[in-house]
């Protein structure tokens, strides 16, 4: 028997009214200073009034609130693992580099919450080289990445191994998901990441073997063709994309890396918007999580820009399309 999400979706509909709209983001971007931007958000209920008003505290609080709400609405948080896997691999990277350097650093500063695995468990697995504490796919990636770092000292190659493993895990979680929204999110995320990787590798002249190692397999793209296209740079990658479902990305790719990043994020949000009219499945909950992640990402970008006194025009060209 399928689950009844009617109550959960009704709660989500209520919370959607508090999401920042496109015009609200424009107002935030128009703030005259970092402090003014922080107060703009605080006036709209962002952050904890008992904590110091900083970007870090605001973003951490809003991320926690998002997952607390979802936790209230479902008894099976594993349904949303596809959104949390990136946090696992962030923590895995941090744990490996901490173990490698032997640095005495407060783990609370390095690790993020919200993953499918406890950060302390990941740290223990790496510190003790007990990879059995991790899921099989993550354990294999952790062992390969750590051994590579120990033998070569190549932090970039370590990251490549873990980044690809992360994308593969996201893609696999999407394929296993029962809901089409989750499947679509995973496919879009991995395809977009592969395109970004191809572009970056082409720009810095990486070898074909390196590019092949970095790209994650996905049915939406021919990664072998994409790898060869990367050798020719941005124009070559854009030309390949014209023959795929991502043809619309070609022009933004030629415009600038920032324009392409914006195109990717906007595409995902546009694909999620139809869930507003779907009250009987997990779709609206998944769309809300994505909306919040997109919102928090945009706010982080604006606050960082304000803190570094970047011109308003640079901020505006990086603003994403909002869910509401």
pLDDT tens for residues 190-238? Answer: 999 999 999 999 999 999 999 999 999 999 999 999 999 999 999 999 9
Q: What is the per-residue pLDDT for 248?
A: 86
CA distance 228 to 240: 10
Q: What is the per-residue pLDDT for 85?
A: 96
Interval 296-311: pLDDT, tens: 999 999 999 999 999 9
CA distance 175 to 103: 39
User: If you average pLDDT over every residue of the chain, what do you get?
Assistant: 92
Q: What is the per-residue pLDDT for 317?
A: 82
Interval 151-169: pLDDT, tens: 999 999 999 999 999 999 9
Interval 169-184: pLDDT, tens: 999 999 999 888 899 9
CB count within 10 Å of CB 258 equals 12
Q: Are 281 and 5 within 8 A, CB to CB?
A: yes
Task: Tell me the pLDDT band of 2, cut-offs 50, 70 and 90.
Answer: low
- End-to-end Cα distance, the chain: 32
**Among 163, 167, 201, which Cα is nearest to 187's?**
167
Interval 252-283: pLDDT, tens: 888 887 888 889 889 889 888 888 888 888 99
**Among 107, 66, 125, 116, which Cα is nearest to 86's?**
116
Task: Tell me the pLDDT band of 1, cut-offs 50, 70 and 90.
Answer: very low
Q: What is the per-residue pLDDT for 297?
A: 94
Q: Are 219 and 273 within 8 A, CB to CB?
A: no
Task: Please give the average per-residue pLDDT across 311-322, as a whole number.
Answer: 88
- Asked if residue 107 has pLDDT above 70, the reply is no
Residue 93, both tokens: 């990277």
């Amino acid at each position: 028997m399928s689950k009844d999400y009617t109550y959960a979706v009704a709660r989500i509909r209520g919370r959607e009214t508090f999401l920042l709209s496109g015009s609200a983001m424009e107002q935030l971007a128009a703030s005259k200073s970092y402090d003014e931007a922080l107060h703009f958000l605080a006036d709209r209920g962002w952050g904890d009034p008992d904590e110091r008003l900083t970007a870090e505290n605001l973003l951490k609080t809003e991320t926690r609130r998002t997952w607390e709400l979802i936790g209230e609405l479902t008894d099976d948080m594993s349904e949303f693992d596809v959104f949390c896997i990136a946090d696992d691999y962030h923590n895995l990277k941090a744990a490996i580099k901490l173990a490698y350097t032997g640095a005495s650093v407060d783990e609370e500063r390095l690790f993020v919450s919200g993953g499918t695995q406890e950060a302390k468990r990941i740290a223990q697995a790496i510190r003790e080289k007990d990879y059995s504490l991790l899921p099989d796919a993550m354990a294999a990636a952790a062992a390969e990445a750590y051994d590579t770092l120990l033998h070569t000292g190549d932090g970039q190659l370590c990251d490549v191994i873990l980044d690809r493993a992360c994308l593969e895990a996201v893609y696999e979680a999407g394929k296993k998901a029962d809901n089409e929204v989750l499947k679509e999110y995973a496919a879009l995320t991995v395809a977009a990441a592969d395109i970004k990787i191809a572009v970056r590798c082409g720009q810095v002249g990486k070898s074909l073997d390196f590019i092949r190692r970095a790209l994650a397999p996905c049915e939406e793209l021919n990664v072998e063709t994409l790898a060869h296209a990367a050798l020719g740079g941005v124009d070559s990658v854009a030309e390949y994309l014209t023959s795929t479902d991502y043809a619309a990305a070609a022009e933004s790719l030629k415009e600038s890396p920032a324009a392409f990043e914006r195109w990717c994020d906007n595409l995902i949000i546009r694909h999620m918007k139809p869930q507003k009219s779907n009250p009987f499945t997990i779709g609206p909950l998944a769309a809300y999580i994505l909306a919040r992640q997109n919102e928090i990402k945009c706010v982080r970008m604006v606050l960082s820009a304000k803190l570094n006194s970047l011109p308003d025009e640079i901020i505006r060209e990086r603003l994403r399309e909002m869910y509401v």
